[in-house]
Amino acid sequence: MIRSAVVTGASSGIGRAAALALAESGWQVALIARREALLEALSEEIEARGGLAKSIVADLSNPEQCAGAIETARSRVGGTPSLVNAAGVARFANLAEDSPESVAAQIQINLVAPILCSRAILPWMAERGGGHILNVASVAGITPFAGASVYGSTKAGLLMFGKALAAEVRTQGIRVTTLVLGATDTELWDAQSFVPSRGDMLRPESVAAVIRDVLESPCDTSIDRIDLMPPKGIL
């Protein structure tokens, strides 16, 4: 049986690692992000190892591109689809110092885009009689951190979106999992003024292994939420 995974944010960090782990496990993968060269390099790496990967350049802050990217994925990979909503941005700042543009951009990419990508993929899943949506949320969505009021709000929203969507689609055999994730050593931290010890963070490869295991969990199980933290907890 062909299994395919549409992975947003596949050009770096957790999305990239998840795409690699899934491809290694035999999944066809559709790779979505803006940086074409990184997507192409990843696609070549996966195909050199015998996998199937298709890169799809899209700016998911644009609602039409969310729908277009999923439609393109549907034409390029086969089987029953899963969707990993990993694309995201974090601009940690006290609200008074954050710009309206930065606030809107975080909400758009972290919350609206996964909702629209999910909306766009549901007909494909319904047609195949199943599917799995995994949303990458954050410990900042369940814990109040100064400097993360906007980021945390987007992730809290994503958590509730996943719960409510699961209630809507579970009778169709479609599963929805929210990954509540702690600090992970990715590019996301490069531009932050406060960076916890990177050596104490989760590695993206470890997060990817959990994502792969969730998507490969038996179809008669539903993992609604996973809290995945580094061993030292909140850093």
Ligand X SMILES: NC(=O)c1ccc[n+]([C@@H]2O[C@H](COP(=O)([O-])OP(=O)(O)OC[C@H]3O[C@@H](n4cnc5c(N)ncnc54)[C@H](OP(=O)(O)O)[C@@H]3O)[C@@H](O)[C@H]2O)c1
Q: Minimum CB separation from ligand X for residue 53, in Å? A: 14
Q: Minimum CB separation from ligand X for residue 125, in Å? A: 21
Q: Is 72 in the site for ligand X (CB under 6 A)?
A: no
Q: Minimum CB separation from ligand X for residue 219, in Å? A: 26
Can 108 be counted among the known catalytic residues? no
Q: Is 43 in the site for ligand X (CB under 6 A)?
A: no
Q: Is 9 in the site for ligand X (CB under 6 A)?
A: yes
Residue from 24, 34, 41, 107 touching ligand X (CB under 6 A): that is 34
Residues in the interface with ligand X (CB under 6 A) total: 26
Residue from 5, 6, 7, 14 touching ligand X (CB under 6 A): that is 14
Which member of 151, 162, 165, 174 is catalytic?
A: 151
Q: Is 181 in the site for ligand X (CB under 6 A)?
A: yes
The whole-angstrom separation of Cα 8 and Cα 60 is 9
Q: Is 136 in the site for ligand X (CB under 6 A)?
A: yes
Q: Is 31 in the site for ligand X (CB under 6 A)?
A: no
Which residues contact ligand X (rule: CB under 6 A)?
9, 11-15, 33-35, 59-61, 86-90, 109, 136, 138, 181, 183-184, 186-188
Give the residue numbers annotated as catalytic, written as ranges: 151
